[in-house]
Amino acid sequence: MKIRKAKMADAPALAGLSAELGYPASPGEMAERLEQLLVKPDHGIFVAEYNMVAGWIHVTIVHSLESGAFAEIRGLVVAKSHRGAGIGTQLVRKAEDWAQTHGCRRIRVRTNTIREDAKAFYHKRGFAPKKTQEVLDKDFHNILNFP
């Protein structure tokens, strides 16, 4: 297995994996997102290749006035057919290495409270609960008549 930087040609595979996580995106939508993010030095997107793109991780630097900069895992998914083979662990290690290389002293991940398997995965890798929050969204689509 090989961990490498994501590239534009990975968009269809990343879209399929994203859908497995419950966040469907078309290959075109994923390509648009990748195009915007791959050029940003404060974002790292990596894929695990195992005869196919078997997983991906997105990590970014968050600049925060109240607590300083830190890294945050924005997304991690491993294909259902490849879970339990250590791919997620290797992707997290890659994100941790990337974060340290970019001067971050800590890394954070957020997961839905109903995702017990994800919480267990991260706890096993040294992540500990910091606080409980409520996520509030405001959808501009309805407010500003976005297409």
What confidence score (pLDDT) does residue 140 get? 75
Per-residue model confidence as pLDDT tens digits over 92-147: 999 999 999 999 999 999 998 889 999 999 999 999 988 888 877 777 766 655 55
Strand partners, 60: 43, 72
How high is the pLDDT of residue 137?
79
pLDDT tens by residue, 44-69:
999 999 889 999 999 999 998 988 89
> Please, what are the domains in the chain?
2-143 (3.40.630.30)
pLDDT in tens, 71-89: 999 999 999 999 999 999 9
Q: How many CB atoms lie within 10 A of CB 141?
A: 8
What is residue 136's predicted lDDT score, i.e. its pLDDT? Answer: 79
Strand partners, 107: 71
| DSSP helix/strand/coil, 56 | strand
CB 8 within 8 A of CB 34: yes
**What pLDDT shows up at residue 34?**
98
Per-residue pLDDT at 2? 96
> What is the rounded distance in angstroms from the CA atom of residue 129 to the CA atom of residue 26?
33
Q: At what angle are helices 11-20 and 27-37 packed, to 10 degrees? A: 110
